[in-house]
C-alpha cells in the first residue's frame, strides 16, 4: 500500500479536547480564547501567571544548508516534541505560522509531515486565527497614512525618493513587486513608485515575533521608520500618527495560538517572519510563556544554521534574554549527496537514479556542509545534536559515515524515522537531546551591541559564512552612514542572503571559504530592532510557478479540504 498523504493522516487524527491540552500545560481555562473546537488563543495574562514556575530546557532545531528536496526540519521538530512523552518528559512545540503564499505556491503547507504533524493541518496552513491578516491590515494602514500625509501637504518633509514603507499581501504575486501608485487626478494621491512584499516579509511581522509584551509591541510600532527627509532624518510611524491604530489591529494577533500534534503534544504557533530577510523564528512571547509550561521547549529556526539559527542566537536570544541548552541539526543522506556537487537536483523533478544508489563516498563529499553548520552552532557555545532524518531508501553505511564525522567533532548523533513512526521514531533523538541539555553551556553572542554595523556584518560573514572579506556598494555605504547617524548602530544585523549556500553565492556548495560577501544595499527594521544588509537578488514577493499548489486545492463533497500537501 502507498504511504498515506499528509492530509489524509491529519484528517484521520483523533484530537484531544483543547481544554485537556491546556490542562496538561497547567494553563487555566480563563486564559483560553477558543477559535472553533481545535484552536485557541492564549491570553497574555497567562505569561505573568506562569513566570514563577521552573524553567524547562530550551532546544532550537536547525539544519544543514537546505536543498530543493527539503530536509524535514519542521517534521523533525514535531517528532522530537512527540518523542519526549515516550521517554517520560513533557515536550512542548513552538513554531512559526505558515504563510499562505508558499501554501498556494510551490512549497505547500508547513505543518510537518507523515506521522509528525501539527493538527488541524488545514487550519494551520490556511490563515488559522487571522494573525497574518491582522499584520497585513496594520502594515497597509501605515502605508495608507504615509500616502495621506504626502497628500495633505507632507509636513514632515518626507523625501519621495526615500520612502521605504511598501505594502504587503499574503499571496505570491510577482506583478505587484514594483508598481506606480497615485495615478489619476489630483485627489488620487501623489504619484510615486512603490510595490508589494509578501506579508511574512513585513516589518510588522518581524516586530510581532520579537515583542515581549503588548506594551513592547506598541513601542516597537512607534519606532518603525517609514522613510527619510531630504536631510537623511528618519520619519517614524509615531510621527505619522499610525502606531496606536496599528496596535489596536494587532491586539489579538499578539496572543499565541494553541494547537496539538497527532500524538496530542501541545504546540504554540505564533508569528511567521520571512526566513530570508527577517529572523525566520517563532515569537519571543510564545517562548517566554512556553519555557515555564514544559520540561523541554522545542522551537525551530528557518533555513540552515548559518541563517535561522544565527539569527535565533544573535537576535532572538538577545531580545528575549533566554539562552538555548542544545541545538538539533537536521541532515539527510540525499541532501548531503546534493552538497557533494555531483548531482543536479531540481524541485518537482525525480532525483537522479545514481543518487539513490548506495554510495557513502557521495555522502562524505557533502559532509563539509554539515561539519561547518555544527561549527556554526558550537561557536555560540551551544551543544549540537545531529538528527539524521532517515528515508526508506537510505543505507546503513551512509548513516555510518555521517555519525562518524559528526561525533569526531563533538556532536551527538541520532537516526530518526519520525515521519513514518511518529514520536516513537525520534526516541533516540530525544535521549540525545536530553543528554546535550544536561551539559554545561557557555552561550555567547557573536558580537557586542557596541560594535559598529560593519563590524557586526564582518563577524557573521567571517565566522559563520566562511568569507574572507566584505565589500559594500556605494549605496550600501551611504545607507550604513545614515543609520549610524540616526542612532541605529547599536542594533543587531540580520543578513539577507541566499539560503542555498552558506556563502552569499547560491552556486557555491558545501562549505566554501575565502569568498567575498558583497552587500548591495542595507535596510533598517528599526521597530523590529535590526538592520538587514542585502546580498544578491532577494525576492520579498515570490511568484507562482507553472503549476502552483493552488490548482490542486479544493473542497470535497463532504466539505473537507482536498489537495493540500
Q: Output the CA–CA distances (angstroms, integers) from residue 443 to 317, 367, 380, 413, in the order listed.
A: 10, 25, 6, 21
Amino acid 539: pLDDT: 83
Give the β-pairing of 196-198 and 167-169: parallel
Question: What is the CA 454 to chain-centroid distance, rounded?
Answer: 24
3-state helix, strand, coil in the chain (%, to 5): 40, 20, 40
Other residues' Cβ atoms within 10 Å of the Cβ of residue 22: 21
Amino acid 95: pLDDT: 97
Joined grid coordinates for residue 313: 542566537
Joined grid coordinates for residue 53: 514556575
Amino acid 548: pLDDT: 86
The secondary structure of residue 394, as a DSSP letter, is -
Closest CA to 78 of 101, 41, 109, 47: 109
Contact status, residue 239 vs residue 146, Cβ threshold 8 Å: no
Amino acid 332: pLDDT: 96
What region, left, alpha or beta, does residue 490 occupy, with left being phi > 0 and alpha being psi -120 to 50 degrees? Answer: alpha
Query: Helices H, strands E: what count in the chain?
Result: 21, 25
Amino acid 1: pLDDT: 64
Amino acid 107: pLDDT: 64
- What lies within 8 Å, CB to CB, of 84 at 6+ separation is 90, 91, 265, 295, 296, 298, 423, 430
DSSP string of 274-288, one letter each residue: -TTTS--B--HHHHH
Query: Tens-of-pLDDT digits for all 565 residues of the chain?
Result: 678 888 889 899 999 999 999 999 999 889 999 999 999 999 999 998 999 999 999 999 999 998 877 789 999 999 999 999 999 999 999 999 999 888 888 766 788 999 999 999 999 999 999 999 999 999 999 999 999 999 999 999 999 999 999 999 999 999 999 999 999 988 999 999 999 999 999 999 999 999 999 999 999 999 999 999 999 999 999 999 999 999 999 999 999 999 999 999 999 999 999 888 899 999 999 999 999 999 999 999 989 999 999 999 999 999 999 999 999 999 999 999 999 888 887 776 788 888 889 999 999 999 999 999 999 999 999 999 999 999 998 999 999 999 999 999 999 999 999 999 999 999 999 999 999 999 988 999 999 999 999 999 999 999 999 999 999 999 999 999 999 999 999 999 999 999 999 999 998 989 999 999 999 999 999 999 999 999 988 788 889 888 888 888 888 888 888 888 7
Torsion of CA 308, 312, 314, 315, to 10 degrees: 100
- Cα–Cα dist 479/429, whole Å: 45
- Cα–Cα dist 150/157, whole Å: 8
Q: Environment class of residue 496 by beta-carbon count within 10 Å: exposed (0-12), middle (13-18) or buried (19+)?
A: buried
Closest CA to 49 of 30, 71, 21: 30
Contact status, residue 282 vs residue 322, Cβ threshold 8 Å: no
Q: What is the largest CA-CA distance in the chain?
A: 72
Closest CA to 139 of 216, 57, 199: 199
- Cα–Cα dist 42/33, whole Å: 6
Give me the residue label for grid cell 555605504.
477
Joined grid coordinates for residue 214: 503588548
Give me the residue label for grid cell 518537482.
348
> pTM score, two decimals?
0.95
Mapped onto helix, strand or coil, the DSSP state of residue 186 is helix
The separation between the first and the last C-alpha atoms of the chain, rounded to the nearest angstrom, is: 19
Amino acid 41: pLDDT: 98
Contact status, residue 168 vs residue 274, Cβ threshold 8 Å: no
Helix (H) or strand (E) holding 215: helix 214-223
Q: Output the CA–CA distances (angstroms, integers) from residue 348 to 69, 70, 106, 338, 546, in the order listed.
A: 9, 11, 9, 15, 11
- Cα–Cα dist 355/366, whole Å: 12
Per DSSP (E only), the strands in 275-376 are: 296-300, 326-331
Domains and CATH numbers, the chain: 6-129+253-348+361-437 (3.40.50.300), 136-247 (3.30.1510.10), 453-534 (3.10.410.10)
Contact status, residue 549 vs residue 565, Cβ threshold 8 Å: yes
- Cα–Cα dist 298/267, whole Å: 9
Other residues' Cβ atoms within 10 Å of the Cβ of residue 189: 16
The secondary structure of residue 316, as a DSSP letter, is I
Amino acid at each position: 500500500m502507498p504511504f498515506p498523504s499528509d492530509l489524509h493522516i491529519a484528517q484521520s487524527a483523533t484530537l484531544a479536547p483543547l481544554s485537556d491540552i491546556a490542562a496538561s500545560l497547567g494553563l487555566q481555562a480563563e486564559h483560553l480564547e477558543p477559535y472553533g473546537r481545535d484552536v485557541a488563543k492564549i491570553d497574555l495574562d497567562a505569561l505573568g501567571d506562569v513566570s514563577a514556575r521552573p524553567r524547562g530546557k530550551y532546544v532550537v532545531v536547525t539544519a544543514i544548508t537546505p536543498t530543493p528536496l527539503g530536509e524535514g526540519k519542521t517534521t523533525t521538530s514535531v517528532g522530537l516534541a512527540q518523542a519526549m512523552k515516550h521517554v517520560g518528559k513533557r515536550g512542548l512545540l513552538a513554531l512559526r505560522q505558515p504563510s499562505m503564499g508558499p501554501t498556494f505556491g510551490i512549497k505547500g503547507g508547513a505543518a510537518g509531515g507523515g506521522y509528525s504533524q501539527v493538527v488541524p493541518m488545514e487550519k494551520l496552513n490556511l490563515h488559522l486565527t487571522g494573525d497574518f491578516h491582522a499584520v497585513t491590515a496594520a502594515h497597509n494602514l501605515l502605508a495608507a497614512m504615509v500616502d495621506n500625509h504626502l497628500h495633505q501637504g507632507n509636513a514632515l518633509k518626507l523625501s519621495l525618493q526615500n520612502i521605504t514603507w511598501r505594502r504587503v499581501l499574503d499571496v505570491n504575486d510577482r506583478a505587484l513587486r514594483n508598481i506606480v501608485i497615485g495615478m489619476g487626478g489630483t485627489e488620487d494621491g501623489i504619484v510615486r513608485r512603490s510595490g508589494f512584499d509578501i506579508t511574512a516579509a513585513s516589518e510588522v511581522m518581524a516586530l510581532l515575533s520579537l515583542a515581549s509584551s503588548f506594551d513592547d509591541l506598541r513601542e516597537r510600532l512607534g519606532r518603525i521608520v517609514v522613510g527619510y527627509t531630504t536631510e537623511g532624518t528618519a520619519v517614524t510611524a509615531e510621527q505619522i500618527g499610525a502606531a496606536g491604530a496599528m496596535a489596536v489591529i494587532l491586539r489579538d494577533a499578539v496572543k499565541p495560538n494553541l494547537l496539538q500534534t497527532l500524538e496530542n503534544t501541545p504546540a504554540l504557533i505564533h508569528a511567521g517572519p520571512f526566513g530570508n530577510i527577517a529572523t525566520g523564528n517563532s515569537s519571543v512571547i510564545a517562548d517566554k510563556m512556553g519555557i515555564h509550561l514544559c520540561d523541554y521547549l522545542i522551537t525551530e529556526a528557518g533555513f540552515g544554521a548559518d541563517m535561522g539559527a544565527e539569527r535565533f542566537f544573535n537576535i532572538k536570544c538577545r531580545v528575549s534574554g533566554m539562552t538555548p541548552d542544545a541545538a538539533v541539526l537536521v541532515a539527510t543522506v540525499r541532501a548531503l549527496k546534493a552538497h557533494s556537487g555531483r548531482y543536479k537536483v531540481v524541485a518537482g523533478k525525480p532525483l537522479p537514479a545514481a543518487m539513490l544508489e548506495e554510495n557513502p563516498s557521495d555522502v562524505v563529499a557533502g559532509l563539509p556542509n554539515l561539519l561547518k553548520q555544527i561549527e556554526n552552532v558550537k561557536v555560540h557555545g551551544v551543544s549540537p545534536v545531529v538528527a539524521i532524518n532517515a528515508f526508506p531508501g537510505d543505507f546503513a553505511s551512509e548513516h555510518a559515515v555521517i555519525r562518524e564525522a559528526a561525533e569526531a567533532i563533538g556532536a551527538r548523533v541520532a537516526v530518526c524515522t519520525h515521519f513514518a513512526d511518529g514520536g516513537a521514531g525520534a526516541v533516540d533523538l530525544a535521549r540525545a537531546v536530553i543528554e546535550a541539555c544536561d551539559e554545561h553551556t557557555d552561550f555567547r553572542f557573536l558580537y557586542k551591541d557596541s560594535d559598529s554595523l560593519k563590524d557586526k556584518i564582518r563577524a557573521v560573514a567571517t565566522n559563520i559564512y566562511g568569507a574572507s572579506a566584505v565589500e559594500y556598494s556605494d549605496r550600501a555605504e551611504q545607507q550604513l552612514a545614515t543609520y549610524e547617524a540616526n542612532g541605529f548602530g547599536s542594533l543587531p544585523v540580520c543578513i539577507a542572503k541566499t539560503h542555498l549556500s552558506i556563502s552569499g553565492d547560491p552556486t557555491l556548495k558545501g562549505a566554501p571559504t575565502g569568498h567575498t560577501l558583497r552587500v548591495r544595499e542595507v535596510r533598517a527594521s528599526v521597530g523590529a530592532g535590526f538592520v538587514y544588509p542585502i546580498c544578491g537578488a532577494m525576492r520579498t514577493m515570490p511568484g507562482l510557478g507553472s503549476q502552483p499548489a493552488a490548482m490542486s486545492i479544493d473542497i470535497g463533497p463532504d466539505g473537507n479540504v482536498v489537495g493540500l500537501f
